[in-house]
Amino acid sequence: MDIFLLLLGFVFVVLGIIGSFLPVLPGPLTSWIGLLLLHSTKVYPMDWTFLGITLAIAILIWILDYFIPAMGTKKFGGTKFGVYGTTIGLFIGFFFIPVPLGMLIGAFLGAFIGELMYDGKDTNRALKASFGAFLGFLASATIKFSIAAVYFVLFFIQFWEYKGVFF
């Protein structure tokens, strides 16, 4: 059972890294579930302080993820249409190869199209707002990726400490 929890925890930590770029998965929260699964094994002792701090960080990042792209869009004069367009474009861009490039282009084009839908006459304003949404997305994804990567490293370090007991 411990091996199953260990492998499932590893899958969640990796999904958390992937979820840093996908709007469907909350990256750091998914990675945190991986840490929780590791701590749920009989081999690794439950550390509630560690889990509490990492959960608080994951929740904070999850909340900020809703505000950072909007702040980028608003800072550059955009509307909620730009924010929605960024999310939709990001999702559509996920299905194009290479995926990271498709997602970046999709986020930018989605924000641009969203802004044009709001006010189709001012392409300069739409371009500026879509750039803000794009920067907001990049900032948010970078923060989520950083935290998910740290959780991956923590998972690996904690596993490595007890690897002899697992195998």
For residue 97, what pLDDT is reported?
67
> Which positions ≥6 away from 44 have C-beta within 8 Å?
38, 158, 162
- Asked if 17 contacts 152 with a C-beta cutoff of 8 angstroms, the reply is yes
pLDDT tens for 5-49 read 999 999 999 999 988 877 778 889 999 999 999 999 888 888 899
Lowest mean pLDDT among 67-76, 80-89, 131-140, 150-159: 67-76
Lowest mean pLDDT among 87-101, 107-121, 132-146: 87-101
**pLDDT band, residue 99 (cuts 50/70/90):** low
| Residue 57 burial class via C-beta count within 10 angstroms: exposed 0-12, middle 13-18, buried 19 and up | middle
Give CA–CA dist 3/93, Å, rounded.
Answer: 36
Q: What's the chain's length in residues?
A: 167
Average pLDDT, the chain: 86
Closest CA to 31 of 11, 2, 7, 47: 11
